[in-house]
Amino acid sequence: MAESSAPLLHYLDQGDPAATPLVLLHGLFGTLDNWQTLARRWVEEAGLRVVSVDLRNHGRSFHSPAHSYALMAQDVAALLDHLALDPARLTLLGHSMGGKVAMTLALTQPARLAQLLVVDIAPRFSNMEHQDDIVAGLQAVDFTALQSRAQADAALAQHIRQPGVRQFLLKNLYRREDNSFAWRINLPVLAAELAAIGEEITSAQPFLKPTLFIRGGTSDYITAEDKLTGIPALFPNSQIATVPDAGHWVHAEKPQEVFELVRNFATMSKPQ
Q: Which residues carry out catalysis?
A: 96, 248
Q: Cα–Cα distances in Å, from 182 out to 29, 39, 143, 163, 177?
A: 14, 27, 7, 20, 11
- Reduced to 3 states (helix: H, G, I; strand: E, B; else coil), residue 182 is strand
b/e map 61-71, b = 16+ CB within 10 Å:
beebeebbbeb
Pairing of strands 173-175, 181-183: antiparallel
Q: Please answer whether residues 12 and 32 qualify as being in contact, where contact means their C-beta atoms are separated by less than 8 angstroms.
A: yes
Kindly report the number of other CB atoms within 10 A of residue 120's CB atom.
23
The C-alpha angle 62, 106, 126, rounded to 5 degrees, equals 75
Fill in the amino acid letter for 233. Answer: A
Could you tell me which residues come within 8 angstroms of residue 108 by beta carbon, excluding any fewer than 6 positions away? Answer: 70, 73, 203
- DSSP structure class, residue 216: E
Q: Please answer whether residues 205 and 177 qualify as being in contact, where contact means their C-beta atoms are separated by less than 8 angstroms.
A: no
Residue in 19, 23, 1 with CA at minimum distance from that of residue 82: 23
Fill in the amino acid letter for 219. Answer: S
Determine the Cα–Cα distance for residues 59 and 56; give it in Å rounded to an integer.
8
